């Protein structure tokens, strides 16, 4: 969203944010000095801060570069006029695609977000919560429409997030495992579970949750 | 496992490892200096390294303190003479209990493991892989016994791990959400999915995975 600064300023800032994400992911936020940042982007300290304001703001911008996309996608998809299952399927695919496209940014914002303070920390937490609410909306819509049976929407949303976000630790897109295939597998797991059709839970065990689907 | 050093040495080392986990989780591994470590445990530098060898080894010991327990549990549970579903249920509960009991250690080893080098990095990766194999064994046993229907065992194991491990980011045990309850919800989600009994996937959509259970 270019404001008074103009498109060129914003493009330059984005390339600085991406270079910083790479550096922070490699060396850690605290361990990366301003001198290294300046060298990586080919700017002096004054010019660097003209674009990014401060090192902490740079960390916030790395987070925002991913989160703003993810949140926009989630908002659009969660409000689509489609069955909840279809919306959940699409959101899963987009979520994995973003994680695969921005491995450094995701690494940095999952690992270093505690370095944010004050207003930036507040905005970080708020955008995360907003994202969770989009997932919760899809799940709630699905329960209302009779597509889903969910004992606890919040826990289910966090389980879904865990399953998808955790891919940042191991997943690299390949022909053998494309974003589409991984997302389809996760969708099938999350929607239908692993219980074989017709199999029943072991008799007499407590805490099994809902009865097996008939 | 006390060796030549004796139990007292090992107990002291464990308390150093726990104090360091707290510090590293708060400030980051790289940003924490030897002086801070010494102050936190009340030892001089020479005494500190008598117990932990080096700062990198301390990081390894933090990882090992959690992973050795988790791996022992997973090995024991995966080999139990119980239905696969029951073993998976027990493993999920133990996994969440360990994460809840060692939040600092888990934070440190998920975030700082890339600082390990050489033999320690190799052992870290190997123990992680061993743990994944225990989960894969339970899932494979369940497919063989007819309890589970799973398209891709490795992806299912990683999905299970993501769901459970991601709790380190948000979960704190409480009366409202005990380890037992969270584990039971996750077990129900992973086993039966969220699809309502009788609900069918939207017609004509590709990539929906297995058909809905009957």
Cα–Cα distance for residue pair B213/A96, rounded to 1 Å: 26
Classify residue A143 by its DSSP letter: H
CA dist list (Å): B108 to A141, B37, B59, B207: 38, 15, 8, 37
- The string of pLDDT tens digits covering residues A28-39 is 888 889 999 999
pLDDT of B205 above 60: no
Residue B170: what are its φ and ψ, rounded to 5°?
-140, -20
* Exposed e or buried b per residue across A75-103, where buried means at least 16 C-beta atoms within 10 angstroms of its C-beta: eebbeeebbbbbbbbbbbbbbbbbbbebb
Give ∠ CA A72-A76-A82 in degrees, rounded to 5. Answer: 155
Report CB contact under 8 Å: A85, B198.
no
- The string of pLDDT tens digits covering residues B110-146 is 888 888 999 999 999 999 999 999 999 999 999 999 9
The ipTM assigned to this model is 0.88
Domain presence at residue B145: yes
Higher pLDDT among residues A119 and A212, named by residue = A119
Domain presence at residue A11: no
Give chain B positions within 8 Å (CB) of A187. 207-209
Domain presence at residue B199: no
pLDDT of A208 above 80: no
Domain carrying residue A86: 55-192
A173 in contact with B, Cβ within 8 Å: no
Minimal Cα–Cα distance from B167 to chain A, Å?
Answer: 7
Domain presence at residue B186: yes
Give chain A positions within 8 Å (CB) of B189. 155-156, 159, 190, 193, 209
Domain presence at residue A42: no
What do you get for the CA distance between the two ends of chain B, in Å?
50
Domain presence at residue B29: no
The closest of B53, B17, B52, B29 to B114, measured between CA atoms, is B29
Would you tell me how many other CB atoms lie within 10 Å of the CB of residue A15? 12
Give chain B positions within 8 Å (CB) of A147. 195-196, 199
The radius of gyration of chain B's CA atoms, rounded to the nearest angstrom, is: 21
Nearest CA in chain B to A193: B193
Report CB contact under 8 Å: B180, A86.
no
Domain presence at residue A102: yes
* Long-range contacts formed by B206-212: CB under 8 A, 24+ apart: B207/A89, B207/A180, B207/A184, B207/A187, B208/A89, B208/A184, B208/A187, B208/A188, B208/A191, B209/A184, B209/A185, B209/A187, B209/A188, B209/A189, B209/A191, B209/A192, B209/B151, B210/A188, B210/A192, B210/B149, B210/B151, B211/A197, B212/A192, B212/A213
Nearest CA in chain A to B30: A31
**What average pLDDT does the segment B50-77 reach?**
94
- The string of pLDDT tens digits covering residues B170-204 is 999 999 999 999 999 999 999 999 999 888 765 54
CATH number of the domain within which B70 lies: 1.10.357.10
Domain presence at residue A46: no
Domain count across chain A:
1
Cα–Cα distance for residue pair B132/B55, rounded to 1 Å: 28
**What average pLDDT does the segment B1-20 reach?**
85
């Amino acid at each position: 969203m270019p404001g008074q600064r103009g498109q060129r300023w914003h493009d330059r800032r984005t390339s600085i944010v991406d270079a910083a994400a790479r550096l922070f992911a490699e060396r850690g936020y605290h361990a990366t000095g301003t001198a290294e940042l300046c060298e990586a982007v080919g700017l002096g300290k004054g010019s660097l801060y003209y674009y990014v304001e401060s090192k902490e703001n740079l960390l916030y911008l790395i987070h925002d570069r991913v989160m703003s996309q993810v949140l926009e996608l989630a908002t659009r998809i969660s409000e689509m006029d489609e069955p909840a299952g279809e919306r959940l399927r699409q959101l899963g695919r987009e979520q994995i695609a973003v994680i695969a496209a921005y491995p450094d940014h995701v690494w940095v914002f999952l690992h270093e977000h505690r370095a944010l303070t004050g207003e930036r920390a507040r905005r970080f937490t708020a955008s995360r919560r907003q994202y969770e609410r989009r997932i919760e909306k899809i799940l709630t819509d699905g329960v209302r429409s009779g597509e889903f049976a969910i004992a606890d929407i919040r826990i289910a949303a966090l389980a879904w997030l865990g399953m998808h976000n955790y891919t940042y630790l191991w997943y690299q897109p390949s022909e053998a495992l494309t974003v589409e295939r991984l997302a389809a597998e996760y969708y099938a797991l999350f929607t239908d579970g692993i219980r074989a059709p017709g199999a029943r839970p072991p008799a007499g065990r407590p805490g099994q949750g809902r009865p097996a689907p008939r």
